[in-house]
Structures are given as C-alpha cells and as structure tokens.
Amino acid sequence: LAASIATALSTPLLAAEMTVGFSQIGSESGWRAAETSVTKQQAEERGIDLKFADAQQKQENQIKAIRGFIAQGVDAILVAPVVATGWDDVLTEAKEADIPVVLLDRGVDASEDLYLASVASDQVKEGRVAGQWLVDTVGDKECKVVELQGTVGSTPAINRKKGFEEAIAGHANITIARSQTGDFTRSKGKEVMEGFIKAENGGKDICAMYAHNDDMAVGAIQAMKDAGLKPGSDIYVVSIDAVPDIFAAMVAGEANATVELTPNMAGPAFDVLAAYLKDGTKPEKFIITESKLYTPADNPQGEYDTRKGLGY
C-alpha cells in the first residue's frame, strides 16, 4: 500500500490533468481576440482545464486574478502583462506557492527567477523589420513619419518604438515628426491620426504612418480616407500583427506592410508547463516567436483567407 501511495504521489501530471489560470489583458485588438481564442482552443485540444480572466486593460485586475488563481491552487498560470512594471509582489506570491508562471506576448521588469518562461516575439526586431521596410521603400526621398504607439508602459510599445528608431537611424531623410499613443485600439488609432492629419497640413506633409499594431493602422486608414487622402499611396502604412483586416486593407491597396505576430503563444507555453510539471524539465527562459514581413506581394487575399479559416 505504501508503495502504491508513493507511486500515486509521484505520478507526473499529464497535460489533461492540468488546471491553468490565464490572466488576459482584455480585447483591445483583433490580435488579442485571436490570442484568446487560440489559447482556449489549445487548452481544449490538450484537455487542460483553463480558467480565463479578462482584465479589461487594468493591471490591478490582473493582479487580483492571479491572486485568485493562487488561492484556487491552480497548477500553473499564464499571464499577458499589460504593462512592464509592478509585478514583483504577485509573482513572488506565485513562486512561494510553487505555481509556475509563463508570460505570454509581453514582458515584465522583474527578476527572471520569478517566472518559468516567457513566450513572446522579439519586439525590438519587429520595430526594426518595419523600419527597414520603410528605409528600403523610400530610398533617398524626404519622409516625415507619424507614429501610433501602443499602450504606454507596455513592452511592445517601448520595444517597437526602439527597433523602428534603430532602423531609421543614419537615414537623415526619414524623421519621426509626431508620435503618440493610440493604446493599441482601432478607435484611438483613428482619433490620434485625425489630429496628426490636422497638424500636418491636412496630411499632405506626412509620408508614412507607422503603427505599433494593425488595429491602430486600420483606424488611421479610416482617418486618412475621411480626410480625402489615399492610404497606401499618399501615405505609406506599415504596422505589426498580420491580422486579417490588414490583409483586406492590402488587397484594397490601402496598407503596405505588416510584421507577423503569431497568436499561438499558448501552444509552446502549455508544452513547457507539461514538461516542467511532469519531471521538472527546465525550459529555455525566452521562447521567441517569428517576425515575418508581409507586403502586397505576399498574396494578401490568401493570407486573409487562411487567417479567417483559423478563426481569427
């Protein structure tokens, strides 16, 4: 009997027996909605019991949700952190409760031993890819850029700005004339772009619009059209995410480039957790997803159809 109890106690946890709490940021963008549905799908396929909490863009709600998961005694926690700072206490509480945490798609300014792993893109590289596309496209032409930043204090906003600036550095003909947050939403992207257009001679002085995500770009495209401008030709449109709507804009000739961010961060996260909970296998700390550039030359209609078919 003692032997069988010992065996039962040491039997590794299979993915199907895992209960995982997921603190999601909210539903600010098409990409975010896709990440949520892919995460639920990945959990279902693996028989994982996923406890989902939508924080409605508020860090305090995320902290509350994580504390709730700890109190429930979940086996692991996924968190997409809305901003970079302010996580030390709650991550320490999870660590003390022996609950591994995996970060999804955004980073934190906290000690690396407070989380098991991070599954995210190289966000500086995303900005660099977008910036390099612009450098290659405009050549020597003078180009005033307006930039729509993501959520203030979030790692994609910080890093995508940095990467873009790195790419255009040394190209004095390309300058960022205006830069403001659009909070990763379509409506804010539109509103801020309207202001940029007014401030820049009805948009005539703007050569390119760089948005930290596609949703803000789609909002900005609308603002350009409302002002009688032709997005994609009067003003270059470059952004990040590769969601279906930006491919629809490319098909219409209204967007020029996007950098892909996969919404499947949960698949690798669940793999890492299953291995860790089974026998303590330590994963790589940073699992980096691809950052592929798409332009109208890359079959935008096909990319639209594929993503729609995947349930984006």
The smaller minimum CB distance to ligand AHR, of residues 199 and 288, is found at 288
Q: How far is the CB of 13 from ligand AHR (least distance, A)?
A: 29
The smaller minimum CB distance to ligand AHR, of residues 117 and 143, is found at 117
* 18, 292 contact by CB (below 8 A): no
The smaller minimum CB distance to ligand AHR, of residues 123 and 132, is found at 123
Q: State how far the Cα of 257 lies from the Cα of 276, in Å rounded to an integer.
A: 38
The smaller minimum CB distance to ligand AHR, of residues 20 and 246, is found at 246
Sheet with strand 286-289: strands edge to edge: 49-54, 19-24, 76-79, 101-104, 117-121, 286-289
Q: Which residues bind ligand AHR (CB under 6 A)?
A: 28-29, 31-32, 105-106, 156, 184, 213, 215, 240-241, 261
- Cα of first residue to Cα of last residue in the chain, in angstroms, is 51
The smaller minimum CB distance to ligand AHR, of residues 15 and 130, is found at 130
Q: How far is the CB of 244 from ligand AHR (least distance, A)?
A: 13
Q: How far is the CB of 213 from ligand AHR (least distance, A)?
A: 4
DSSP 288: E
CA distances, 63 to each of 69, 87, 254 (Å): 10, 8, 40
* 55, 80 contact by CB (below 8 A): no
Q: How far is the CB of 74 from ligand AHR (least distance, A)?
A: 23
Q: How far is the CB of 215 from ligand AHR (least distance, A)?
A: 6
